[in-house]
Chains A and B, each alone.
Chain A
Amino acid sequence: MTVLGTFALWAALLFGCWTAAIAFFADWRSRPVLAAAVTRGVYATCAALLVATAALWRGIFAHDFNIEYVWAYTSRNLPSYYLVSAFWAGQQGSMLFWAVILSIFAVLAQTLTSARQKHLLPYVAGVTSIVVSFFVSVMLFGHASPFLRMAVTPPDGQGLNPQLQNPGMMMHPPLLYLGYISITIPFAFAIAALMSRSLDTGWIVAMRKWALASWLFLSIGITLGMWWAYVELGWGGVWAWDAVENAPLMAWLTLTAFLHSVMIQEKRGMLKRWNVSLMIGTFLLSIFGTFITRSGVIASVHSFTQSDIGYFFLALLLVAGVLSFTLLYTRWPMLVAEVQLESLLSRESAFLFNNLALVGLAFAVLWGTLFPIISEAVSGTKITVAKPFFDQVNDPLGLFLLLLTGIGPLIAWRKASAANLQRQFIVPTTCGVVTVALLVAFGLRDMYSLVALGLSGFVLGTVAQEFYRGIRARITLHSENFGAAIINLVSRNRRRYGGYIVHVGIVIYFVAFTGLAFQVKKQIELSPGESETIRSPFGHTYQLKQMGVSQYTRLNRHVTAAPLEISRNGVVLGRLTSERRQYLDSFGNKLFETATEVDIRSDLREDLYVVYAGSPDGTERSQFTVMVNPLVSWFWIGCGVLIVGGLITMWPGGPQVRTQRRRAVAQSGYSVPLAGVAE
């Protein structure tokens, strides 16, 4: 298998380089056979990488511990579903995973792009082939091949890290990778547009769904990462501003900015330079994130092993940055806006400020991530920049962004009048004010929370108003009933109303973050039969009664389990059993340090979160960390809403032609702010 896998990697490298060479240097415009050869080169690269993938999986499932990667990340008694996730659990496997997924995306880009944008495809193939070849090169030349053999074959492997033995880790890394990797496709379209000088909206139409898909994958991947951190790491939080968490967030922020500003280009022919710059920047941030994760240059709680391959990514980052921005510079005069901004009070301006907030937030995250290095270089003193710093710097920017999320849809295109503003803002502002008043009446006094929840009320008011007006217009114009009106409204304006649903999802995230700030945490120590209480921010009193400790062996681990009987306000709710797990290999040898398995009781208001911390003196008297985490379920609900909104936005079809015609009409002087009716 290792010979086959290595051979497949070399073949993929050969095919990738060949494809890129033809795409960028051959005259495929006058010789269609060469253009076809480029496409076939993409297919061949993908096929070779699929063979390499099959070879690695064969080695993993066959427990071929002579393969260093299989030995390092699996063991004979590892459950088979974790054998699947072992593929991307380590540095080398994740590199192959990245390469094969990108090659599959490259094939999809070649096959799914409409005929009108076919002229971009050879360049797209060239860019994707370069990136794929880079990853294969790192594997082959950076001592990062998953097919390296060992001098002797050990009887068993070292097993999978306990923290990766979680269902969330079967989904979180692949989805995050899908997001990261798929960014390459819209970037490739941007470069193709620059190289081919086809700088109309064609490239945007071709890559829009890719950008949306990438954004959706990143959103889900990031949220699954939050979920994994919450249920597996035992600290009761979802976001620690760790460098590896920050990396996809930065790309997500700039991609979000792009998805907003690209609408201005589609509707008004403006911000062309900015959009290309944003797409290049997003791709570079995805590579930067990989550099952080792989190099170990920045301290992180869950980066890969420190290795030299990070510097391959630094080189790619620099080369890609220089070449991309040089190309952009050479095409600068061709990217002139078709019309000019007319007013500060216009939706275009609101989108610009929204972009400023999103990119500013991405910059703040980048700044905080790099600041320890900068500070040490300047002052010579080592510092840590962690959650308190990021909270202090980013919270105001986040609230500013939330405010703009509510303002943007309220302002008319081109130029808003005072009457328009008054009419549009009154309901959302009332919603925000009423929200704050109610919260104050219920005793909330924390200023940040009041602002965050007040702004959330404002944004929800905006979205509700937009839906109400749209539905009312449809009922009036088309005599539809309410159900038909809402379905037709959304289906005929998928991007707009899907976007509003995404906004609701984002608001829910903000609300959940605000709730989690009121976490209550307590350490307790109990003998069997003893109980302790903890009071939740919502005023409930939980009683936790120790029910003893049991020990047993299950699958690949020895478990020490400590159940607690839970009552709320005197009513028994059931048991929460958290565990300490000692993972073993098939010979019963200990693997890794003892790991914690938390247990959580969730409802819409709050989670009761129990962590068994261990038993002093070898008795059943046990310590627990107990937390009450308000509103955590709303993170997962927010993610669901966001997915629904994203899928509506991406759904194929829709009135694309109509939008373009409207843009033509609008630019020829037919300018009316169609608030509530159409875009």
Chain B
Amino acid sequence: MASRREFVRQAALAAVPVALLAPARQEPVQQPRPVGRAPADTLAVQPDRNKAPMGPLDNDPTVIGIERRLGCACGCTLDVYTCRTTDFSCTFSPAMHAKVVEQRQAGQAPEEIVLWFLAQPDTLYGHKVLLMAPEARGFNLMGYIVPGLTVTAFGLALAAWLLRRKPVVLAAEHASGGAAPTVPDIEQQARLQRALDEVDS
């Protein structure tokens, strides 16, 4: 066992290199790492949980078409495609996308895939999967046609009402012997402008 004096001597000798190295052990300044030079190509903090690598059908137009028809089950009001390419924290849309891809690779037709999703109970994804726009049949047909029909009906009624007034006005014009006013040429407009300026003044 070393004596107390020996212990102090060794400690003092050990302290010298520590003291010399101390300036090199300052707190590192936080700054962006040079791009493309991360050690071992790894990230210190994983920004997202469970981020899956891209699959072969992620940009497939048929898959996108199917996903655009289906609402995401997370309740975000977006379709599956928009949700999975926008809300990267959503866990529902990647799962639904994986299912679409799986069924597509199994040879299912787009309509069959859509119907499969619609037939699933709401326990599968937490919410019932719904179409982004209802099918135009049954009562939902009303959803599509009521606005257009209403505007058309009111427009026709308005036009009919205005046309019905026409004979009265024409009769009045006939009685007064006046013709419908014509558009004045530039000289007439000039005269009118002067007349109006007189009224103004």
Contact = CB atoms under 8 A, between A and B. Distances in A.
A99 interface: no
Contact of A371 (B54, B78, B143): B143
Contact of B51 (A356, A551, A615): A615
A375 B147 contact: no
Interface stretch (B2-10, B103-111, B149-157): B149-157
A593 to B, nearest CB: 4
B33 A360 contact: no
B184 A389 contact: no
Contacts of B126: none
Interface stretch (A168-176, A319-327, A617-625): A617-625
B130 interface: yes
A473 B189 contact: yes
A623 B199 contact: no
Interface residues of A, number: 102
A548 B182 contact: no
A523 B77 contact: no
Interface in B141-173: 143-144, 146-148, 150-151, 154-155, 158-159, 162-163, 165-166, 169
B23 interface: no
A360 B154 contact: yes
Contact of A384 (B38, B130, B154): B130
Interface in B67-99: 68-69, 71, 75-79, 82, 85-89
Interface of B is mostly: loop
A342 interface: yes
A619 B41 contact: yes
Contact of B133 (A379, A389, A521): A389
A615 B48 CA distance: 7
A477 B183 contact: no
Given A357-B151, A553-B30, A392 B144 contact: yes
A1 interface: no
Given A353-B158, A396-B148, A677-B193, A386 B132 contact: yes
B144 A386 contact: no
Contact of B45 (A397, A582, A671): A582
A552 B30 contact: yes
B138 interface: yes
Contacts of B48: 580, 594, 614-615
Given A360-B151, A379-B138, A522 B44 contact: no
Nearest to B179: A417
B58 A596 contact: no
B47 interface: yes
A563 interface: yes
B183 A675 contact: yes
Interface string A224-248: 0000000001110000101000000
Given A523-B59, A665-B199, A673-B183, A477 B47 contact: no
Contact of B192 (A394, A614, A672): A672
A300 interface: yes
B47 A547 contact: no
Contact of A382 (B37, B45, B128): B128
Interface stretch (A46-54, A108-116, A655-663): A655-663
**Most chain A CB within a 10 A radius of its CB, from B47, B88, B134, B181:** B47
A412 interface: yes
A340 interface: yes
A74 B49 CA distance: 26
Nearest to A552: B32
A615 to B, nearest CB: 6
Interface in A475-530: 476-477, 521-525, 527-529
A472 B185 CA distance: 12
Contacts of A379: 138-140
Contacts of B34: 548, 550
Contact of A423 (B44, B53, B183): B183
A121 B151 CA distance: 37
A420 B54 contact: no
Interface string B117-138: 0000000000010111110001
How many chain B residues sit at the interface, stated as a range, is 35 or more
Given A396-B148, A551-B43, A623 B51 contact: yes
A525 B54 CA distance: 7
Contact of B162 (A343, A357, A596, A677): A343
A426 interface: no
Nearest to B180: A417
Given A389-B132, A389-B134, A392-B144, A594 B47 contact: yes
Contacts of B128: 382
Contacts of A614: 47-48, 51, 88
B190 A420 contact: no
B47 A560 contact: yes
Interface in A551-592: 551-553, 558, 560-561, 563, 580, 582
A91 B140 CA distance: 34
A596 B86 CA distance: 8
A678 B194 CA distance: 12
B171 to A, nearest CB: 12
Contacts of A625: 85-86
A150 interface: no
A342 B199 contact: no
A386 B159 CA distance: 33
Contact of A375 (B51, B53, B75, B140): B140
A393 B159 contact: no
B43 A615 contact: yes
Interface in A396-415: 396-397, 400, 412, 414-415
B42 A619 contact: yes
A523 B81 CA distance: 11
B1 interface: no
Contacts of A357: 151
A549 interface: yes
A553 B29 CA distance: 11
A621 B31 CA distance: 21
Contacts of A371: 143
Interface stretch (A19-27, A362-370, A445-453): A362-370
B86 A393 contact: no
Nearest to A627: B85
A343 B181 contact: no
Nearest to A234: B86
A596 B88 contact: yes
A344 interface: yes
Interface string B7-50: 00000000000000000000000111111111001111111100
B38 A674 contact: no
Given A343-B162, A375-B134, A412-B183, A522 B59 contact: yes
A308 B7 CA distance: 74
B175 interface: no
Interface of A: 233-235, 240, 242, 299-301, 340-344, 349, 352-353, 356-357, 360, 363-364, 367-368, 371, 375, 378-379, 382-389, 392-394, 396-397, 400, 412, 414-415, 417, 419-420, 423, 472-473, 476-477, 521-525, 527-529, 547-553, 558, 560-561, 563, 580, 582, 593-594, 596, 611, 613-621, 623, 625, 655, 657-658, 661-662, 665, 671-678
Given A477-B193, A523-B58, 19 more contacts: A235-B82, A240-B77, A299-B75, A356-B151, A360-B147, A375-B140, A387-B79, A393-B148, A417-B180, A420-B182, A473-B186, A549-B38, A553-B30, A561-B32, A563-B35, A611-B85, A615-B47, A615-B51, A616-B53
22 contacts: A233-B86, A240-B77, A299-B77, A300-B77, A343-B166, A344-B162, A344-B163, A356-B155, A364-B147, A364-B148, A375-B143, A385-B134, A396-B148, A528-B36, A580-B47, A580-B88, A613-B88, A618-B43, A620-B41, A623-B53, A673-B181, A678-B193
Return the 7 tightest CB-CB contacts between A and B, nearest first: A548-B36, A364-B147, A360-B151, A548-B35, A580-B47, A389-B133, A614-B48
